[in-house]
Structure 1
Amino acid sequence: MSLYNTIYDVIVVGGGHAGSEAAAASANMGVHTLLITMNLQNIAQMSCNPAMGGIAKGQIVREIDALGGYSGIVTDKTAIQFKMLNKSKGPAMWSPRAQSDRMQFAECWRTMLEQTDNLDFYQDSVNGLIFDDTKIVGVKTALGLEIKARTVIVTAGTFLNGLIHIGEKTFGGGRAGEGASTGITEDLVEKGFESGRMKTGTPPRVDGRSLDYSKMTEQPGDDNPEKFSYMPVTKSLTKQRSCYLTYTNPEVHDLLREGFDRSPMFNGRIKSTGPRYCPSVEDKINRFAEKERHQVFVEPEGWNTVEIYVNGFSTSLPEDIQDKAIRSIPGFENVKFFRYGYAIEYDYFPPTQLKHNLETKLIENLFFAGQINGTTGYEEAAAQGLIAGVNAALKTQEREPFILKRSEAYIGVLIDDLITKGTEEPYRMFTSRAEYRTLLRQDNADIRLTEKSFKIGLAKQDRLDRVLNKKEKTQNLIEFLEKLSVKKEEINPILESKNLAVINQSMKLIKIAARPQLVFNDFRNIERLENYIQENNIDQEIIEQVEIHLKYSGYIEKEKANADKLNRLENVPIPSSFDYSKVKSLSYEAREKLSKIQPTSISQASRISGVSPSDISVLLVYMGR
């Protein structure tokens, strides 16, 4: 099959986390897909820290897995450590995180993609887009090929006119050792797109053999590690590698300040905005001058490498300053560098120019995903890639878009925030961004999303069968607990051991189990319950679901009611041709913002900054409500 005469259903530009998930999703939905990337050896490269998940990000990876994406499976297969963060808090805050073997991660991703039907690969740089008026019809490459497609997904990461900074040195590049991508931004701006610049950075990588770990605090993984994927194709870790914690100090800060006059962040050469929640070390000591120390996490890059990622020491300071300052951190006195930290500036396109299916408003059949939309993080990029891949495939199949609501997924919150509010700094997901986070827990992502994914043809039958079995067994166990009456002789010894009030007569176990001081395993010595668990093959995953129901059902039902109210506003559509300029009762700011963003529903309109409740009331009147 020749690239010269093939018209692909989907072309994915870029092979990072967004591009890899996009290519996998569209191909698995049965459409002919081509992944074009500058270097096939770097598919799904972990450009920054060798980890997946974390606060809110772990929920996103679970959602990707529940939908049939690859990120969770790859992470499990290449993990070297697993932790469930925030376990001391309520289940809405539990967030899985795994350290990965960086080299195995990229290798595993490539292997899985190569084993995916309907997916072709081509190594080249895309330096132009081919349009037919307001439709995209293909791409142009550096070698001069013009490859045709029905839809195109651009996932260019930090490569669009990328510029790397180390001290006073500046050179073009999209990542250390790799060139920048030119041409795409210029083609899009010519078509009327608004573009901007953002910045991100990365820390030094060092030789772990040169560190003194005795001066640091060991941070091992969980005693009973879990995993990301709901599928049995992956297993929990049986051995793990530890990370370590150390701290900067006033001496380190003083040494870093010596280089501020040569820092591109402070001398004006970097004018773009960096990530607020992952600042460089020089930014931290400047903004938080009162703090005498900052955490530095020492993270291994894999099982069989001595390379270490110095998390918390992201910097673009001159290399001599980096070298001098890092040696004053406990444990780093004799450090050897593998490579210095650097900052990178790149083009992005404000995401208010997109629809909720991640298709651009200006050009039909053109989709954006990942850092091109102003986000930061592997997980946010992968989620967008999956949704763009699904929707590009649906577009070629002439089917309705696949859009997740804010009450259905963190992915829905992520995309709605981008489309509705835009972003002027690299966007990162937090649990606080989700108003329905009790519903959007990491443990129930499969229950929330797998049936939806199966209906569009992405999730497969075996995945759906597991979810339906989990739902059925969970409900059956809840009903068993509602019927099971325990005698005081059975339950009082358990209550006494916890210094809790005893009961004077038989009581339904479900009422006792709701006490916050008790956990499900406290009742495992009740014979009738244990027999039921053994006879029905109830595993820990189902027990966790039941325990969350017992403790939090009131909160969950309240959030469901609030979500239902929101969804009623989602069902009040705003016609795409609606002329806000004629609604004089709207405030000037509301007319301006609504005209620019063109919300598709009253609910989306209500989330736009500058649109007041009185403006929404006016719109409801116009919509006949």
Structure 2
Amino acid sequence: MYPKYDVIVVGAGHAGCEAANAAAKMGSKVLLITMNMNTIAQMSCNPAMGGVAKGQIVREIDALGGMSGIISDKSMIQFRMLNKSKGPAMWSPRTQNDRMRFAEEWRLALERNPNVDFWQEMVTGITYKDGKATGVKTGMGIEFEAKAVILTSGTFLNGVIHIGEKQFGGGRTGEHAAKGITEQLVQLGFEAGRMKTGTPPRVDGRSLDYSKMEEQKGDEQPEKFSFSNETTPLKEQRSCFITYTNPEVHETLEKGFDRSPMFNGRIQGIGPRYCPSIEDKINRFAERNRHQIFVEPEGWETVEIYVNGFSTSLPEDIQYEAIRKIEGFENVRMFRPGYAIEYDYFPPTQLGLTLETKLVENLFFAGQINGTTGYEEAACQGLVAGINAHRKIQDEEKFTLSRSEAYIGVLIDDLINKGTNEPYRMFTSRAEHRILLRQDNADLRLTERGYNIGLATEERLAQTKEKQRQLNLLINDLHQKKVDPDLANPMLESHQTAAIQHRTTLNKLVKRPQLEIMNLREINEELATYFDKYDRQIIEAADIHIKYEDY
């Protein structure tokens, strides 16, 4: 009665959406099962994509032919390139996003693909035969057949939400936990563990006094994530704001520590080290009298605000009392309190590089089920699992990325070889090849690989090859063109860098930390006209290449 599928994806978060899109785009007939069709691609925590190391991952997903970059661009309300004060290998793109538009764009993208079907229900287990996954079974007793199954269950496996002394089952506020999958997999021989994450309160932006906060605007010349021509940079942006906690806030929060599930032993799961709750920060860094709070709008049209830096599972009355003592929040109205959530995960050492499980063939795991934290980390795993599920059932070669090819390769290699006992987050410091794995060259590194497996389009490949051609031409010219001291020195002095004594090639000037290619336009009209031929993206890529070429 029900159709048979090539791939079934369980869960429609960031990992599930990328997995379904990739497998379907490559030709598999996909069924995406979610507990709620209205929460596809929900930004469960902060309304933002990218950031340090994470922005590089979004660009890599885009270069391979995934959708996270395009969806982020279509829903962004602000763009910032982080770490600009550091070397170019550290530059990391980040967008503030419209939460509702992000989810809408993902759903539209999936609905446009005729190879994707949807089903709204809870999955309670997998079906299997002779050590191979053969489909899934649902709470209503329906069995869907498939050649491969991808579990992208997020925080829903036996999820428990904590707010002070209150606790209740749920995978996200207002949504049920998923029961049955963990128990079945443990019976099959899988090892399971428990992790925790948290989210801050959401508040009414109309009740805040922004005059008491520091405005954080987007970049003056905003860029975008996707290398494709499908999206364009923002013409207008929404600001975020910065404020701080204070000793009075901390004292109020401490009053609730005896009712905190973190301190009274009710929460057993391990939380993310690099995204601690406000009570954890106060407890661990008692010497600090303030902590930074980022005030982030949830979209273009909504007044809802995400209070970044104030993640908490303290009782709601304590949350309300404490948040009102933050500067600018004196009259705040809370929409919903923060909470912590505990959930099951499966140590990722039980997987191979394709994210297929070692115990059950044709069963793949992606996202928080593998012990990671973050939208971007989940999305890239979903992409890799979707690609490999399709290739496995087509008897095609495995698709893997090495540590020297991509941050995605670093992440998966770390997970399956080292495992993790705390929520794993990507950092530039984890990648020993980070000078090569930059955000500006993800397309040059990966688009051809995406094209070869049928994911990136021919148009994207042609665009990448043209970028490489222009880049090579510009770099070659910079190595060949020379400039005389009398022409170059006025420009060099104006940028407070040493004058030259002899005729010098332009690339040697670009290597100087005080200079970039666009400064060479100041030398004379001829050079200004020459550089005007090139797109800003090409100039920036050439600039970075020349600064790093000796390494």
TM-score normalised by structure 1 residue count: 0.87
Given that 1:137 and 1:148 are in contact with CA atoms closer than 8 Å, whether structure 2 keeps it comes out as yes
Given that 1:206 and 1:339 are in contact with CA atoms closer than 8 Å, whether structure 2 keeps it comes out as yes
Given that 2:518 and 2:531 are in contact with CA atoms closer than 8 Å, whether structure 1 keeps it comes out as no
Q: Report deviation, 1:116.
A: 1.7
- 416-425 vs 115-124, greater mean Cα deviation: 115-124
- Rounded to whole Å, the distance in 2 between the matches of 1:235 and 1:160 is 38
2:318 aligned residue (295, 318, 321): 321
Amino acid at match of 2:265: G
Q: How does 1:461-472 map to 2 (within 5 A)?
A: 461-472=458-469
SS at match of 1:524: helix
Give the corresponding residue for 2:165: 168
SS at match of 1:75: helix
CA deviation profile, 1:109-148 (whole Å, cap 9, x unmatched) = 1001111231111111111110103111010011211000
Given that 1:199 and 1:273 are in contact with CA atoms closer than 8 Å, whether structure 2 keeps it comes out as yes
Give the corresponding residue for 1:342: 339
SS at match of 2:390: helix
- Rounded to whole Å, the distance in 2 between the matches of 1:474 and 1:546 is 6
2:509 equivalent to 1:529: no
2:204 aligned residue (204, 207, 211): 207
Q: What is the RMSD computed on CA atoms of the aligned residues?
A: 1.1
2:452 aligned residue (433, 452, 455): 455
2:119 aligned residue (82, 105, 122): 122
Q: Report deviation, 1:247.
A: 0.8
Give the corresponding residue for 2:535: 539
- Rounded to whole Å, the distance in 1 between the matches of 2:382 and 2:350 is 17
Give the corresponding residue for 1:438: 435
SS at match of 1:187: helix
1:229 aligned residue (226, 233, 242): 226
1:92 aligned residue (85, 89, 92): 89
- Rounded to whole Å, the distance in 1 between the matches of 2:440 and 2:464 is 12
CA deviation profile, 1:153-189 (whole Å, cap 9, x unmatched) = 0000000011111111111100001000011111101
- Rounded to whole Å, the distance in 2 between the matches of 1:247 and 1:287 is 17
Given that 2:8 and 2:149 are in contact with CA atoms closer than 8 Å, whether structure 1 keeps it comes out as yes
Give the corresponding residue for 1:310: 307
CA deviation profile, 1:297-341 (whole Å, cap 9, x unmatched) = 111100111100011110111111111111111111111111011
2:51 aligned residue (54, 57, 63): 54
Amino acid at match of 2:483: V
Larger Rg: 1
SS at match of 1:442: coil
1:301 aligned residue (279, 298, 303): 298
SS at match of 1:244: strand
- Rounded to whole Å, the distance in 1 between the matches of 2:426 and 2:510 is 34
Given that 1:351 and 1:373 are in contact with CA atoms closer than 8 Å, whether structure 2 keeps it comes out as yes
Q: Report deviation, 1:516.
A: 2.3
Which residues of structure 1 form unaligned runs of 5+?
A: 556-625
SS at match of 1:443: coil
- Rounded to whole Å, the distance in 2 between the matches of 1:373 and 1:138 is 20
Give the corresponding residue for 1:549: 545
- Rounded to whole Å, the distance in 2 between the matches of 1:545 and 1:211 is 41
Which residues of structure 2 form unaligned runs of 5+?
A: none
- Rounded to whole Å, the distance in 1 between the matches of 2:196 and 2:53 is 22
Given that 1:28 and 1:117 are in contact with CA atoms closer than 8 Å, whether structure 2 keeps it comes out as no
Give the corresponding residue for 1:358: 355
Q: 1:86 to 1:499 in 2, by over 3 A?
A: closer
Given that 1:357 and 1:387 are in contact with CA atoms closer than 8 Å, whether structure 2 keeps it comes out as yes
Give the corresponding residue for 1:188: 185
- Rounded to whole Å, the distance in 2 between the matches of 1:291 and 1:359 is 45
Give the corresponding residue for 2:389: 392
Amino acid at match of 2:242: L
Aligned length: 550
Given that 2:521 and 2:531 are in contact with CA atoms closer than 8 Å, whether structure 1 keeps it comes out as no
2:404 equivalent to 1:413: no
Q: Report deviation, 1:232.
A: 1.1
CA deviation profile, 1:435-470 (whole Å, cap 9, x unmatched) = 110000000000011111111111110110111001
CA deviation profile, 1:181-215 (whole Å, cap 9, x unmatched) = 01111110110000011000000001111111111
Q: Report deviation, 1:97.
A: 0.6
Q: Report deviation, 1:487.
A: 2.8
Amino acid at match of 1:162: G
- Rounded to whole Å, the distance in 1 between the matches of 2:238 and 2:528 is 36
- Rounded to whole Å, the distance in 2 between the matches of 1:275 and 1:267 is 18
Give the corresponding residue for 1:564: none
Given that 1:83 and 1:98 are in contact with CA atoms closer than 8 Å, whether structure 2 keeps it comes out as yes
Q: Report deviation, 1:484.
A: 1.4
Amino acid at match of 1:105: F
- Rounded to whole Å, the distance in 2 between the matches of 1:320 and 1:267 is 18
Identical aligned pairs, as a percentage?
67
CA deviation profile, 1:40-93 (whole Å, cap 9, x unmatched) = 111100000000011111111011111111111111111111100000100110
Q: Report deviation, 1:508.
A: 2.2
Give the corresponding residue for 2:11: 14
Give the corresponding residue for 1:286: 283
Give the corresponding residue for 1:482: 479
- Rounded to whole Å, the distance in 2 between the matches of 1:186 and 1:12 is 19
2:127 equivalent to 1:147: no
- Rounded to whole Å, the distance in 1 between the matches of 2:470 and 2:383 is 30
Q: Report deviation, 1:506.
A: 2.8
TM-score normalised by structure 2 residue count: 0.98
Amino acid at match of 1:554: D
SS at match of 2:509: helix
Amino acid at match of 2:527: L
CA deviation profile, 1:406-446 (whole Å, cap 9, x unmatched) = 01100000001100000001001111111110000000000
Give the corresponding residue for 1:29: 26
Give the corresponding residue for 1:566: none
- Rounded to whole Å, the distance in 2 between the matches of 1:552 and 1:304 is 43
Give the corresponding residue for 1:264: 261
